[in-house]
A and B are shown apart, each in its own frame.
Chain A
Amino acid sequence: MTALFLQIVNLSISASWLIAAVLVLRLLLKKAPRWISVLLWGLVAIRLVCPFSIESALSLLPSASTIPSDILTDPSPSLETGIPALDRVVNPVIEHSFAPQPAASANPLQILLPVLAAVWAAGVVLLAVYAGVSYLRLRRRVSTAVRLRDNIFQTEQVVSPFILGVFRPCIYLPFSLDETTLSAVIAHEQAHIRRRDHWWKPLGFLVLAVHWFNPLVWLSYLLLCRDIELACDEKVVREMGAAQRADYSQALLSCSVRQNRLGACPLAFGEVGVKERVKRVLHYRKPAVYLVAFAVVCCLATAVCFLTSPRTDTDTPPASSTDEPASRTLPLTEQSAAECIAKTLETLTLHSDGTVSFSLPEELPVSGDGKTALAVNLSATFSDAPGSYSVQDLLDDRRGWNGGERFVGSLESERGELVGVTLGVFFWTEVDTDAYQMYAGDSRELTAPFNYDAPAGYTAPGLQFEQDGPALRITCRMRDGSEPKLSFTLPEGISAAESDGTEVYQLLLVQEGEPAGSVTLYPFGASDAETLAGVDTAASSLPMQIFSPVALSNHAGYEGYQVQRSWDSGCTATAQYVWQDLRASSGDAASIPWQQMDCVLAYDWNVMPYFVEILLDEEGLAADIADSVQLVS
C-alpha cells in the first residue's frame, strides 16, 4: 500500500509539471478549437495514471521519480526533484526531520508514510463512494422519466439537462422547455454523446479520486469540464447558420434564467459563464487549418516532452549537484559499527617493502546527527635495544575517512627492530564541546613473528567455550589472530557462561544460576623473551614478570601462591586472590576490609602472553581444577 502510494505521489508530481505546461499552452491556444484543450487534459490523465513511460532525451520533466522508492530505508532520506536549487532547499529540511537516529531502529518515515498512505486510501474510497451513491440516487430519481423519443426522456425531477448512463446514455430533460430551447438542448446533449463526453467526465473523476491530494488535479478537472462544455458548443454550432446560432444562444440564456427564477443554486463544477458561451457561439468561426495544425503540433510536442521521462543515465546524481560527500553511507548502529571495525582490522597488512596498510569498507556507518565520527590510530613499536622502545605514530586519531579508502604508511625502520604494529578503529561521539565518549572501537596488534604481505582475518577477541559434561574447552580468540586453547575440568554443578562485563577475555562460572566464579585472561607484566627466561616456573614465589598487572595493585593481589605443576615455559598454581572492594569505600582506603577467594593461576609463555586466573566462590575446589588445566597453542 505504501509503495503504491509513493508511486501515485511520484506520478502526481510528474503530472503537475505537465499541468503547468498545459495551463500555459491553453492561454496560448485560446483561439484554437476547444477539443485541443480536452486532448491536452487527456494527456494529463494519461500521465497521472500510467506508471510506465518511455525514456527520452527530449523529456522536460525534471525528474523521473522525485521520491526515491527506497526512501524508507535510506539513512539520509532526500528527494530527487531534478532541480538542484529546489533539492538544496528541500532536502536539508527533510534530512533533519526524518534522518533515522543511530540508536533508533526505524526511520521516522517508516511510521509516517504508511499513515499518509492510509489517509490517501481513505480519501479515494470516500470519493468513489460519493460517486457511486450519487449515481444510484440519480437513477432512482429519474426512474419515472417519460420518454420523449429514442433515448431522450423528460422528468419533473431535474432542472438542468444531463446525460446518465455509460453504455446506453440517455438524455434527461425538464418538462417545460419551449420548442426552440428543447431542440437546442437536445442538439447539445447529443453532441456530448457523440464526443463520448459521458465517458471522459466519469473517467476524469476517477483519476481525480486517486489524486485527490493534488490541488492542481482538481484545477485540471474543473478546467476539463469547462473545456468539454465549450468543445461541445463548438461541435453543435459548427454546422449552424447565423439564425440557428441566435436561437441556440437564446436557449442558453433562457435555461439559465429559468433556473434563476426557480431559486438560486450553488455554483457547481465546470459551469461556464453563460455570457462567455453566448459570445463564443455568436462569434464562432471555423478555425483556420494552420491554426489547428499548429495546435496539434503543440499537443504532440507536449506529449513527447512530458509523457516521457528523463534519461536516468544522463541524470547527474543529486549527490554531485549538492555538497554531500561522495562516500556511500549506511546508518550507524552498534552492529554496523562493530562490523565496520572488524572489517577494517582484518585488512591490516604488513608489507615486505617496509610499509603497513589497511582499508576501510566501501560503506561507512554514519550517524544521522553527525555527532559520531570514525577515528583511526596506527602506530608501530620498535626496539633498538633490549628494554628500550620507541613508537612511531603513523596515524593519530585521524578522522574524515571515506568509504573504501586505503591507507599506506611507511615504517621508520631506522628506529630499530619492529616489535609490533597496532591499528585502532574507533567511533567517538561528541557529547559536549571537545568532550567525547567512545561509541564503539577495537584495536588489532601484529607482533613477531610477522606474516608479511598477508592480511590475516580478524575475529572479535574473546573467549569462546564448549562444555562437555564437566570438561570445559575454551578457545581464546586473541587480538593478534592466534587461537590458543585452554581446558580444565569443572566441579559438579558448575558451568561456564558468557561474561557480562567489559573484560574481553573473560567467562563467568555459574552454579544453579548463581555466580560461582570467573575465568579471566590477563596480559603478562613483561612479554619479551629475555625477561621471561629469567622466570623460575617452579618457584613458590609469585613471579611478578607474569602477574604484575594484577599483583602490583595496592588493592589486590595473590597470596599463598603454590605451584601444582610446572614445565619449562609455564606452570599451574593455586593461590588466594585478595582484594579490597573500592566501591564500598567512603574515605580512607586503608580501612576497607580485605576479601579473598580461592583461585587457580596458570601460564605458558610459549602459548600466549596472557596468564589464566580462575576465581572460585567455593573453597576446596582449586587444587583439582589446577590439576586438570591444559594450555595448548
Chain B
Amino acid sequence: METPKIFESEYRFCLILWEHEPIKSGELVKLCREQLGWKPTTTYTVIKRLSERGVLKNEHTMVSSLVSKDAVQAAEIDELVEKTFEGSLPAFIAAFVRHQKLSPRDIDQVQQMIDRFREEEQK
C-alpha cells in the first residue's frame, strides 16, 4: 500500500500525535493550540482530513496514527503545492519579494554584486 502523502504542517501535527498517541481529540486540540498555534476548528478539520486519507483513525474521540513516522513522505507534497499555486498574492498584501523571473545570467550578476561587496568590506 502506498504511504499517504501529507503536507509539512500536517507532518508537524503528526509529530505531536506520534508523541502522545493514543490521545483524546480534545487534548490533542489543546496541544495543537500551544505548540502549533492552531484554532480548535483547524485541528478538527485536519483530524478529519487525515482520517479520510488513512493517516490516522478517530474512534470514540480517541485519535491514533495509522502510519509510522518514517513512512511519511512530506517533501513531495511540498513541490506539488507550488505547481498548483495559483499565482500572485493579492496586491494589497505586504510581501517580502514577489514572483520574479530571473534569468540565470541575472542570478549570476546579482550574486557577483553581493560577492564583490563582501570582498570590499572585508578589506
Chain A residues with a Cβ under 8 A of chain B: 130-131, 134-135, 138, 143-147, 153-164, 175-176, 185, 188-189, 192, 197-198, 201-202, 204-205, 221, 225, 228, 232, 242-243, 245-246, 249-250, 252-253, 255-257, 259-260, 262-271, 273-275, 277-279, 282
In the complex, what's the smallest C-beta–C-beta distance from A142 to chain B, in angstroms? 9
Residue numbers in B under 8 Å from A277 (CB-CB): 97
Whether A188 lies near B100 (C-beta < 8 A) is no
In the complex, what's the smallest C-beta–C-beta distance from B96 to chain A, in angstroms? 4
- Most chain A Cβ neighbours within 10 Å, of B81, B110, B118: B110
Whether A249 lies near B114 (C-beta < 8 A) is yes
Known contacts A164-B93, A260-B102, A275-B109; A253 and B8 CB within 8 A of each other: no
From B20-28, B38-46, B57-65, the one touching the partner chain is B38-46
Whether B93 lies near A138 (C-beta < 8 A) is yes
In the complex, what's the smallest C-beta–C-beta distance from B103 to chain A, in angstroms? 9
Residue numbers in A under 8 Å from B82 (CB-CB): 159, 262-263
Whether B107 lies near A250 (C-beta < 8 A) is no
Whether B99 lies near A161 (C-beta < 8 A) is no
In the complex, what's the smallest C-beta–C-beta distance from B13 to chain A, in angstroms? 8
B95 at the binding interface (Cβ < 8 Å): yes
Q: Which of chain B's residues has its CB closest to A261's CB?
A: B82
Residue numbers in A under 8 Å from B113 (CB-CB): 249, 275, 278-279, 282
Chain B residues with a Cβ under 8 A of chain A: 7-10, 12-13, 35-39, 42, 45-46, 77-79, 81-83, 85, 87-102, 106-107, 109-111, 113-114, 117-118, 121
Chain A to chain B contacts (Cβ below 8 Å), 7 pairs: A131-B90, A156-B81, A189-B96, A205-B92, A266-B88, A268-B87, A282-B117
Whether B100 lies near A267 (C-beta < 8 A) is yes
Whether A249 lies near B96 (C-beta < 8 A) is no
Whether A242 lies near B8 (C-beta < 8 A) is no
What's the Cα separation between A260 and B12 when bound, in Å? Answer: 27
| A-side interface mostly | helix
- CB contact between A268 and one of B81, B88, B106, B109 (< 8 Å): that residue: B88
Residue numbers in A under 8 Å from B83 (CB-CB): 262-263
In the complex, what's the smallest C-beta–C-beta distance from B86 to chain A, in angstroms? 9
Whether B114 lies near A278 (C-beta < 8 A) is yes
Whether B114 lies near A243 (C-beta < 8 A) is no
- CB contact between A274 and one of B12, B46, B97 (< 8 Å): that residue: B97
What's the Cα separation between A355 and B91 when bound, in Å? Answer: 78
Known contacts A144-B38, A159-B85, A243-B121; A268 and B107 CB within 8 A of each other: no
In the complex, what's the smallest C-beta–C-beta distance from B74 to chain A, in angstroms? 8
Residue numbers in B under 8 Å from A259 (CB-CB): 97, 99-100
Closest 4 CB pairs of A and B: A268-B88, A147-B37, A271-B98, A265-B99
Whether A271 lies near B110 (C-beta < 8 A) is no
In the complex, what's the smallest C-beta–C-beta distance from B3 to chain A, in angstroms? 17
Whether A160 lies near B97 (C-beta < 8 A) is yes
What's the Cα separation between A267 and B102 when bound, in Å? Answer: 11
Whether A228 lies near B94 (C-beta < 8 A) is yes
Whether B121 lies near A274 (C-beta < 8 A) is no
Known contacts A159-B99, A175-B8, A250-B114; A221 and B94 CB within 8 A of each other: no
- Most chain B Cβ neighbours within 10 Å, of A144, A162, A264, A279: A144
